[in-house]
Structure 1
Amino acid sequence: MKESLLCCSVCGQPLTFDEKNARCPKGHCFDRAARGGYVHLLRQHRRGSSDPGDSAAMCQARTRFLEGNWYGPLRDTVAKLAADCAPQDILDAGCGEGWYTRAVLDACPDARLAGIDLSRYALRHAGRTCPRGDFAIASLFELPLADASVDLVLHLFAPMCAEEFARVLRPGGTLLTVTPGARHLWGMKEVLYQKPYENPTEIRDLPGLTFEREVCVEDTITLTDPQDIAALYQMTPYAWKTPKEAADRLLHRDALTTPISFQIHLYRKG
């Protein structure tokens, strides 16, 4: 059994994990084995639907693409920056399938980690492939963690809730955020849209946190498998809002070359 960073969604007490369940000192029990390694800590008033978070199809597409290591430069940089923080306790806020999580834990072999996401499909994969982490369905806007309980919060391509991140960070702790750079996936946008638009790149002021520095990661990738092109498209927000005619132009291509660009921002809690 191991004490987790996660807390009971009923009483707020720390949870202890074993292979099958998670329990708090007051006896509240959460089934872990039946869910594929994660627990359900999303409170009722935070449930926007009966099946929140990314769909199975989106998670499968993201897993296929990421496991091809197309975003390897970003993963390696995030893992190195995390290790530089020498954290004992880490929250991966919006962990998805755990692809970045695994690299961070490899770089921080003595750290504990809790991963939060809304998608049960993503967390099943994370629970199977990252046994060192404790994973839960929960809202980033109501984190099931105690105040000042982690040294590092990872926040990659997920909704921002600075107040909650500041709450769970210890004094001196770090928030590491990743957002798309201005011309991220520009090659794909040129196929989809007549007038592609750049992503916003401003440095945000976050309450309770002080901006420290920016690290940029850029590369160019060439996809030569139509299934990889489809996976990349399906894991992005463009798949929700692009007209079918434009999507067909992309999905019928045999190859796609595009820049990838990421902004990593590091913030410190005073």
Structure 2
Amino acid sequence: MSLFRCPVCRSPLVREGRQYRCPAGHSYDIAREGYVHLLPPNQKHSKAPGDDKEMVSARVRFLTAGYYAPLRAALEEEAVRHSPPGVRLLDSGCGEGYYTAGIARALRESGKGPEIAGIDLSKAALRHAARRDKETEFAVASAYHLPVADGSIGLIVNCFSPMAAAEFLRVLRPGGRLLYVVPAPDHLWELKAVLYDTPYPNPEESIRYPGFSTSGEIKVENTVPITDHEDLMALFRMTPYCWKTPKAGVARLEGLDRLTVRASFRVLAFQKEG
């Protein structure tokens, strides 16, 4: 049985060969790489939603080099510490699967026997995610219309992706946990100082959501020396700065061979009440 549900009738999906099928007869082909498309046309807001190939390639290059390994290690540790055996985990906005794969490996090696699924809007990203981890289910889907049953998930991980609080509340079981990763105030400050004349820190808000209680915050910080120009440009291309940086700022960055930046994250933990 799959963690996914039919996006049309909400019935359970079963994997049969190269398809997922539901009892009502709806079927969904599995792509060559291993992911399935569960995003109905009325939930698509563009022809090719999600991150494009260039942004995905940049993220794959940068993350695979290990620059954000401390964040992945913190998520792995939290997942193992707070997950019961047989935990059902959903990575919402899983992208190319870097964090998903790390958490999945940690849970499996700890003997938790997890069931894991990841969703993202980007087919380009899911091609990497599905090739990276053949044991995890991946689907093209929206965080605001999760193809997942009510109360079926024990842990949701959400790294830099839309916070669909109402949907997360729906699919989490009572007492289920949510790990929400956001940038800390000085995250990538040195990069912003190159790109902008007047950089500003990220807001550090006290975040609350109805139906959730807060259960702690972990700060993950490390200094990242980037000595490869292409890695530096990959970092730029995988961030939202790529869309809104003046040409002069891009030119300054392109002229650098190296840059040391602060990677600073907030891992916010929530628990479903009830």
- Residues 1:210 and 2:213 aligned together: yes
Tell me which of 159, 164, 169 is aligned to 2:162.
159
- Residues 1:44 and 2:41 aligned together: yes
- Between the aligned partners of 2:225 and 2:68, the Cα distance in structure 1 is 12
Corresponding letter in the other structure for 1:25: P
Aligned counterparts, 1:1-270, within 5 A: 3-34=1-32, 36-87=33-84, 88-109=87-108, 110-270=113-273
Count of residues in Structure 1 that have an aligned counterpart in Structure 2: 267
- Between the aligned partners of 2:159 and 2:256, the Cα distance in structure 1 is 29
What is the CA deviation profile of residues 244-269 of structure 1, one whole-angstrom value per residue up to 9, with x for unaligned ones?
12111112201101111000000001
Q: C-alpha displacement at 1:44, in angstroms?
A: 2.0
What is the CA deviation profile of residues 64-111 of structure 1, one whole-angstrom value per residue up to 9, with x for unaligned ones?
000000000000000110111224100100000000001111111110
Moved more, 165-174 or 9-18: 9-18
What is the CA deviation profile of residues 204-246 of structure 1, one whole-angstrom value per residue up to 9, with x for unaligned ones?
1112111110000001111111000000000000000001121
Report SS of the residue matched to 2:179: strand
Q: C-alpha displacement at 1:11, in angstroms?
A: 1.1
- Between the aligned partners of 2:214 and 2:55, the Cα distance in structure 1 is 32
Corresponding letter in the other structure for 1:15: L
Corresponding letter in the other structure for 1:37: G
- Between the aligned partners of 1:167 and 1:227, the Cα distance in structure 2 is 42
Q: Does structure 2 retain, via aligned residues, the 8 Å contact 1:226–1:252?
A: no
- Between the aligned partners of 1:261 and 1:254, the Cα distance in structure 2 is 22
Report SS of the residue matched to 1:144: coil
Tell me: CA distance 1:33–1:137, structure 2 relative to 1, closer, same or farther (3 Å): closer
- Between the aligned partners of 1:237 and 1:185, the Cα distance in structure 2 is 12
CA RMSD of aligned residues (A): 1.0
Report SS of the residue matched to 1:92: strand
- Between the aligned partners of 1:165 and 1:112, the Cα distance in structure 2 is 17
What is the CA deviation profile of residues 160-206 of structure 1, one whole-angstrom value per residue up to 9, with x for unaligned ones?
11110011000010010000010000110111111110001112111
- Between the aligned partners of 1:210 and 1:74, the Cα distance in structure 2 is 23
- Between the aligned partners of 2:93 and 2:42, the Cα distance in structure 1 is 19
Q: Indicate the percent of aligned positions where both proteins have the same amino acid.
A: 47
The two structures have a TM-score, normalised by structure 1, of 0.97
- Between the aligned partners of 2:259 and 2:16, the Cα distance in structure 1 is 45
Corresponding letter in the other structure for 1:192: L
Q: C-alpha displacement at 1:27, in angstroms?
A: 2.1
Q: Does structure 2 retain, via aligned residues, the 8 Å contact 1:19–1:33?
A: no
Moved more, 23-32 or 225-234: 23-32
The two structures have a TM-score, normalised by structure 2, of 0.95
Consecutive unaligned residues in structure 1, runs of 5 or more: none
- Between the aligned partners of 2:120 and 2:6, the Cα distance in structure 1 is 16
Report SS of the residue matched to 2:174: strand
Q: Does structure 2 retain, via aligned residues, the 8 Å contact 1:96–1:122?
A: yes
Moved more, 13-22 or 88-97: 13-22
Corresponding letter in the other structure for 2:131: R
- Between the aligned partners of 1:221 and 1:63, the Cα distance in structure 2 is 17
The runs of 4+ residues in structure 1 deviating greater than 4 Å are: none
Corresponding letter in the other structure for 2:207: R
Q: C-alpha displacement at 1:19, in angstroms?
A: 4.8
Consecutive unaligned residues in structure 2, runs of 5 or more: none
What is the CA deviation profile of residues 108-135 of structure 1, one whole-angstrom value per residue up to 9, with x for unaligned ones?
1110111110000000111111111111
Q: C-alpha displacement at 1:18, in angstroms?
A: 4.4
